[in-house]
Structure 1
Amino acid sequence: MAVSMENAFDALEQDYEDSHAQNPGLHKIIQQILGKLAPGAKVLDAGCGTGKPVSHALANAGCDVYGIDISQTMVDIAKRQVTGSFEKVDMRAYRPEVQFDAIFAVFSLFALSRREISAMMLKFCEWLCPGGSLIIGTIPSTNISTDMSLYDKTGLCMVDIDFMGQKVKGTVYTTREWHNMLTKVDPFQPKNTLYAKEDHYYIIARRTAQHPLLGPYPLPTQYRGPHPLSEQAFGPFAARFSREDFDAVLEALKENQKVLDIELPVALAKRHGKVYSIEPNADRNTIISNKSQTNNVEVLPGTAENIPFPDNNFDAVVSMWILHYVHDLEKSLREMARVVDQHLPNAKIVIVQGAPDNEVINLVNYVCAPLSTENNRFDHQGFLLHKASEIFREEGFDDITLRRVDVHCKFPEKDLSKRCANAAEILATVWFETDPNLAEMKREMIPVLEAHFAHRPNTIGDEGVILIARPSKNESYH
């Protein structure tokens, strides 16, 4: 029976170091990276183990070393023998307060699912300074099993790995899929790969200047067009949300006095006094208007393409999860810029859209989009944010910041079949409500959801990005 990685590492203690500290191929990689790092460079050892050999060599070379590991036993050993900052934390939950010049993830990704590995590639890129290096140590799946029945079409293989005498459930990829995964994050450019031993595979990738939250890359050349939007489809989806994007938006608007909101006027009015809103859908307009009677909200019929207010009328505009519903993306973005008075001290535009690792969108793209008879193009949230950045800069809002916000959908049903059926119904309908192949989409989503819930039992991530554009002469992303 396979055991968890945390239990496996806790049980190994010093044996792990004795087995791995003298890996000549890994030492060669460490020295190669050290040749590019200045003294005092900040380096993260993600899955640091006992601190040897990676953290130890980096610290001895004068680097400022940060180490994280899921095993308290390993962290305790690392603290005793390596100069650096070490803490017990799951890399999936880690939120560093600094950016790194290099990140090592050496044999520490096996316990993650495909979704989690993909998300970690994105997070590693966010944590790195532009030009920083990511070093991955892994074992290609073809060196573990040649049984092709264990592989999916992406090259992923889930197997029990013999880890120092213990069986652990692990995720492994072909070398080609590792390359494909990194190039989708495009700010990572795989520079070279090296086999240190017959079964070990090392990848060195460099972050470019492109922002990882605008991916995945390459970007499409044009907007896919709008998804249908109705309260009947959106309501059940919204009811499942657990989210921090509301608080992030409210924090961004705390100094603003006159706000135009293109989606959530009542929530904003409770915190910000008078709020203005536009709503193109008659059924949603009625619902918002009824709620607004007890709040200081003025709702007008209108669309993002034709905002029914004069120029320079607000000190802020906020649009949450709306851009994939508009018909004319560029016009909508220019309209938002038009109605904000750039001369006001807190002038800003706030946009929330999906992150590249958004599980809901990735599930829908994987299952539903190819089956659609109305529009089979993938939904690409990064393109929407990229276009917003481009248009806002042209309109004078050239101080642009991007950061991720945590949003997820809860499916607490105890019965797996019911949980999958409800999730398929909600997700397929909210994105493809009017598509003739909706029923087939729901059916095809069931086995994909079963696989998803095996790793994340009651949650599907709807991860977001908050973009804040302010007028200034700052020409770089933050």
Structure 2
Amino acid sequence: MGLEFIPIFKEWAKEYDETVAGHDPEYAEVFANYSEMLTMITEKAGQNVLEFGSGTGNLTIALLKAGKTVFPVEPSAEMRDLAKEKPELAGIDFLAGDMENFPLPAGNIDTIVANFVFHHLNGIEKKRALQKYAVLLPKGGKVIIGDTMFVSQMRFDDTITTAINTGKKTLAADLQREYYPLLPNLENYFHEAGFTVKFWQINSFAWIAEAVKR
């Protein structure tokens, strides 16, 4: 499940926080309003949160500051090590795992979150993961996903063309390599897994999906 992308994060880990802060011109639009995105996900989350792709711990910190219990899961050892260096995360146990294969938390969970992670799964894996999450969550439990998403294939194709024409070669390659979801497809995946879902646009790339188990 998306583990083919681990080598990318091994290289990117040290620059990740600078990138999401908007300091990389190629990705400035992608991560615009990043802090607001963390706040919105945190506000929508329940009390006991399973977090996938915790990375360097930015969302983990926001959730903990809001008084949530968090079980962060991250496949990249480099990302986990950087997260553990942050004072706010002292004593937090970052679990090794991914969105499909992960250790179950010791306690019950009512929310699953993933920020800028879900695009590592292809369509089949996305559907399979959501069906697995539906089993873990109680009725009314939530899956909250923040990620780059597109309203249509045309919009996705136009974004790649624009990136190429403006010299953003790394961004263009990223968009072509990974599995960024189309909103109609993701909506269908959630419905098939037994969720209702709403979407909020954060910037020209990023959206938040809030799904509630029926």
TM-score range, shorter chain: 0.7 to 0.9
Q: Give 1:114's aligned residue.
A: 123
Q: Give 1:15's aligned residue.
A: 15
Q: Name the amino acid aligned to 2:117.
A: S
- Contact 2:39–2:62 (8 Å) recurs in 1: no
Q: Name the amino acid aligned to 2:111.
A: A
Q: Name the amino acid aligned to 1:122.
A: Q
After superposition, give the CA deviation of every residue in 1:360-413 in whole Å (9 maximum; x if it has no partner).
Answer: xxxxxxxxxxxxxxxxxxxxxxxxxxxxxxxxxxxxxxxxxxxxxxxxxxxxxx
What SS does the aligned partner of 2:95 have? strand
Which has the larger share of helix? 2
Cα distance between partner residues in 2 of 1:62 and 1:28 = 13
Aligned length: 185
After superposition, give the CA deviation of every residue in 1:117-149 in whole Å (9 maximum; x if it has no partner).
Answer: 1111111222223222111122224443249xx
Q: Give 1:336's aligned residue.
A: none
Percent of aligned pairs sharing the same letter? 21
- Contact 1:101–1:129 (8 Å) recurs in 2: yes
Of residues 182, 198, 205, the one that matches 1:199 is 205
- Contact 1:43–1:103 (8 Å) recurs in 2: yes
Q: Give 1:144's aligned residue.
A: 156
Q: 1:136 to 1:162 in 2, by over 3 A?
A: farther
Structure 2 length-normalised TM: 0.75
What SS does the aligned partner of 1:85 have? coil
Of residues 38, 42, 52, the one that matches 1:27 is 38
What is the deviation of 1:69?
1.5
Q: 1:167 to 1:199 in 2, by over 3 A?
A: closer
State whether structure 2 residue 193 is matched by structure 1 residue 170.
no
- Contact 1:96–1:127 (8 Å) recurs in 2: no
What is the deviation of 1:60?
1.4
Structure 1 length-normalised TM: 0.36
Q: Give 1:5's aligned residue.
A: 5
Larger radius of gyration: 1
Bigger relative contact order, structure 1 or 2 (CA pairs below 8 A, ≥6 apart) = 2
Of residues 57, 60, 81, the one that matches 1:55 is 60
The residue correspondences of 1:35-50 to structure 2 (distance < 5 A) are 37=46, 41-50=47-56
Of residues 180, 195, 214, the one that matches 2:188 is 180
What's the Cα RMSD here? 2.7
After superposition, give the CA deviation of every residue in 1:239-298 in whole Å (9 maximum; x if it has no partner).
Answer: xxxxxxxxxxxxxxxxxxxxxxxxxxxxxxxxxxxxxxxxxxxxxxxxxxxxxxxxxxxx
Q: Give 1:79's aligned residue.
A: 84
- Contact 2:97–2:103 (8 Å) recurs in 1: no
What is the deviation of 1:9?
1.0
After superposition, give the CA deviation of every residue in 1:163-200 in whole Å (9 maximum; x if it has no partner).
Answer: 598677211232111111111112x111x211100111
Cα distance between partner residues in 2 of 1:79 and 1:33 = 25
Q: Give 1:68's aligned residue.
A: 73
What SS does the aligned partner of 1:182 have? helix
Of residues 169, 186, 189, the one that matches 2:196 is 189
What SS does the aligned partner of 1:13 have? helix
